[in-house]
Amino acid sequence: MMSLYKTKHMKIKFSSLNCEISKREVMRNTSLLLIISLLIISLLLGCSMKSAAAETSFISINTDMTRYVEGETIKLMVSNRSDIPVWYIGYPQRELVFWEIERAEDDGWRRLGFRLPLIEEGREVCRIAMYERPIGVVRDLKPHSDLLYEWNQKICLIKIVTESTEPEMIKRGRYRFIMRYSLDTVKSENIATEPWKRPIELGQTKVVYSNEFVLE
């Protein structure tokens, strides 16, 4: 009888011990899986961040100086340091440009809307010219090349006027340029029924910002 009791008691002990060992193994395996999962996520995030950083570092937009007096020419340079072309929207019209500009305000950066002056009879004037759409064409900035632009700080506010007016100097302040670009292009659909579309459009659009500069 005593022997039977001991045997049963030992079986219970072994069973409890096995349960404890199983629990520990499950916990150990769960912890190991969690650590592996965290490592994989970290690696994926690291690769994604590196890819994004590399993508934005090969194209840059810079001004030749960081401070300008009124009327001084601002020289802008866009550089493509990659091995592939970069695509952007260019314009044959003088008053339309591939860049935008933002001014620093108390509550953040504000994008400005204006056009540049036209040349009429040898002088710069403001007049809103109407163009048949589509306006602008997709152009490429070739690998390891630069796009240069010079601007004398004169602008034309967007307003309807019956006669040509004199351009204005942009307000003094802190600014930065913006350029929208893409690494690929896409063919537009339904051109026959939607003629305002460009035949070729930019693919996924990205944005690059210039250094900040001050107009004194």
Q: Tell me the CATH number at 137.
A: 2.60.40
Residue 105: which H helix or E strand, with range? strand 99-105
Residue 37 sits in the same domain as residue 66? no
Residue 65: CB partners within 8 Å, gap ≥ 6? Answer: 74, 213
| 53/67 same-domain check | no
**Bridge partner residues of 205 (DSSP):** 182
For residues 84 and 32, the model is more confident at: 84
Closest CA to 179 of 113, 109, 87: 87
Mean pLDDT of the 5-22 span: 51
> In this structure, are residues 99 and 176 in contact, taking their beta carbons and an 8 Å threshold?
no
Same-domain pairing of 110 and 197: yes
Same domain, 168 and 197: yes
Where is the domain boundary, 13, 29, 57?
Answer: 57
Q: Judge if 36 and 16 occupy the same domain.
A: yes
Segment 137-175, tens digit of pLDDT: 999 999 999 999 999 999 998 877 678 889 999 999 999
Mean pLDDT of the residues in the chain? 82
For tokens 């970290």, the residue is 42
User: How far is it, in rounded angstroms, from Cα 134 to Cα 91?
Assistant: 11
As a whole number of angstroms, the distance between CA 126 and CA 166 comes to 6
Residues in the chain: 216
The pair of structure tokens assigned to 108 is: 């953040």
In a shared domain, residues 67 and 18: no
> Are residues 83 and 47 located together in one domain of the fold?
no
Domain count, the chain: 2
pLDDT given for residue 94 in this prediction? 87
Domain that holds residue 148: 59-215
Tell me, yes or no, whether 91 and 196 share the same domain.
yes
> Do 35 and 106 have their domain in common?
no
On whether the pTM is more than 0.75, the answer is no
Tokens found for residue 123: 């002088």
pLDDT tens, position by position, 202-214: 999 999 999 999 9
Please indicate, yes or no, whether residues 89 and 189 belong to a single structural domain of this protein: yes
Q: Note whether 45 and 108 are same-domain residues.
A: no
Task: Check pLDDT > 80 for residue 60.
Answer: yes
In the chain, count H helices and then E strands: 1, 18
